[in-house]
Homo-oligomer: A and B are copies of this chain.
Amino acid sequence: MNYLCASGKRAEFMFEIQSRDKETRARTGILKTGHGDIPTPIFMPVGTAGTVKGILQKDLIDDIDARIILGNTYHLYLRPGTEILKASGGLHKFMSWPRPVLTDSGGYQVFSLTGNRKLTPGGAIFKSHIDGSKHVFSPENTIDIQRIIGGDIIMTLDECTPFPCDYNYARKSVELTHQWLDRAVSRFRMTEPLWGFPQYLFPIVQGSTFDDLRKKSAEKIASVSLEGNAIGGLSVGEPAEEMYRIVEIVNEILPEDKPRYLMGVGTPANILEAIERGIDMFDCVMPTRNGRNGMLFTGEGIINIRNRKWTDDFSPIDPEGSSSVSTYYSRAYLRHLVISGEILGAQIASIHNLSFYMWLVAEAGKQIEAGNFRQWKNRMVKKVSERL
């Protein structure tokens, strides 16, 4: 189970499948990184600028048990910047985070800066949202930047098309993404990790909601034969059924023996449906961002804690919740904090929601291993989508 790294050193395969569901494409596995093993399916809390908003690293580890977090290359490149990240010895050291990190390529954020960015074959020219300064992201320099940040898993630069998207635009965009992929892989193979642990590069399938483009893209991505593969450009406004259909089409083509990462997804129901279709990795701002606004995810459904009905509900936030805050604090107290704009409301909701997401993917894994996944999933999808 060894292969030759770009660096010439031998390393183990990064992914090992542990069990497969008999009725669906769902599976469990272990992702091996220089910062420890990650069980899959896994959810990765988003730590945009080197912090999962509102959560101390010790709580991410001890309370939430986040196994890997995500960093955004766009934000980290602008602030603190590569000079500071390099001087600190990479993001892990900078933010005192001992567990694995995945960084995106910055593409998604840059393409969200409508009006402040220009796409060229060479890359993307964009203006900083902080000070308006001009920058360029290319397939090559986003590899260089990610070498400095030092994610255990890094991503190739892609264009994430909006929804809805004109077919011709999507076709040209996916071609550009594929050209960029070749350039990124070439740069990746020419360079070395900087911080003494391996970095794995994942390419990204694009193609909007067009089946033929998605198939073509998945074939291209599979042919590059990197350590894992990602699906981007979903959960950008298309109906959930479209998303599931595209995931099915793409996962027919992406190799079975490599981890599959569905970027930016999603609701608890989205995650369960995608696990059923063979996805192993997820990230999404929903548990933290929606948490800060008072939306709580539980195994019984969604709570909008701003709702007047919780004013005098002194029962725990979530009696079944696995984090320390879920049972320590009452709904009435959390409502008071959120209504009052208190920071602590954002903290409690974020810890609770991330713990719920971690529980959800871990429980999915257990159900897969026990052979009960589909039945459990069908029941859970209904429950987690209800409004309490």
A 285-344 contacts with B by CB, 8 A: 311-312, 314, 324-325, 328-330, 332-333, 336-337, 339-340, 342-344
Contact with A54, one of B49, B312, B339, B347 (Cβ below 8 angstroms): B347
A 74-117 contacts with B by CB, 8 A: 79-80, 84, 87-88, 93-96
A122, chain B: closest CB distance, angstroms: 29
Asked if residues A347 and B343 are in contact (CB atoms below 8 Å), the reply is: yes
Give the chain B neighbours of A54 by CB distance below 8 A.
343-344, 347
Asked if residues A57 and B328 are in contact (CB atoms below 8 Å), the reply is: yes
A315, chain B: closest CB distance, angstroms: 11
Asked if residues B84 and A344 are in contact (CB atoms below 8 Å), the reply is: no
Interface centre among A50, A80, A325 (most CB of B within 10 A): A80
Which chain B residue shows the least CB distance to A343?
B54
Interface size, chain A (Cβ < 8 Å): 39
Asked if residues A84 and B347 are in contact (CB atoms below 8 Å), the reply is: no
Q: How many copies does the complex hold?
A: 2
Give the chain B neighbours of A382 by CB distance below 8 A.
none
**In the bound complex, CA of A95 to CA of B348 (Å):** 12
Give the chain B neighbours of A49 by CB distance below 8 A.
336, 340, 342
Interface string of A330-369 (1 = CB under 8 A from B): 1011001101101110111000000000000000000000
Judge if A119 is at the interface, Cβ distance under 8 Å. no
Asked if residues A80 and B336 are in contact (CB atoms below 8 Å), the reply is: yes
Judge if A270 is at the interface, Cβ distance under 8 Å. no
Judge if A55 is at the interface, Cβ distance under 8 Å. yes
A344, chain B: closest CB distance, angstroms: 4
Asked if residues A311 and B343 are in contact (CB atoms below 8 Å), the reply is: no
Knowing A96-B329, A332-B88, say if A347 contacts B311 (CB, 8 Å): no
Asked if residues A336 and B79 are in contact (CB atoms below 8 Å), the reply is: yes
**In the bound complex, CA of A88 to CA of B56 (Å):** 29
A-B contacts, 25 of them at CB < 8 A, read A49-B336, A49-B340, A51-B342, A51-B344, A54-B343, A54-B344, A54-B347, A56-B325, A56-B347, A58-B328, A80-B332, A84-B311, A84-B332, A84-B336, A87-B312, A88-B312, A88-B314, A88-B330, A88-B333, A93-B314, A94-B314, A94-B332, A94-B333, A95-B333, A96-B329
Residues of A in contact with B (beta carbons under 8 Å apart): 49-51, 53-59, 79-80, 84, 87-88, 93-96, 311-312, 314, 324-325, 328-330, 332-333, 336-337, 339-340, 342-344, 346-348
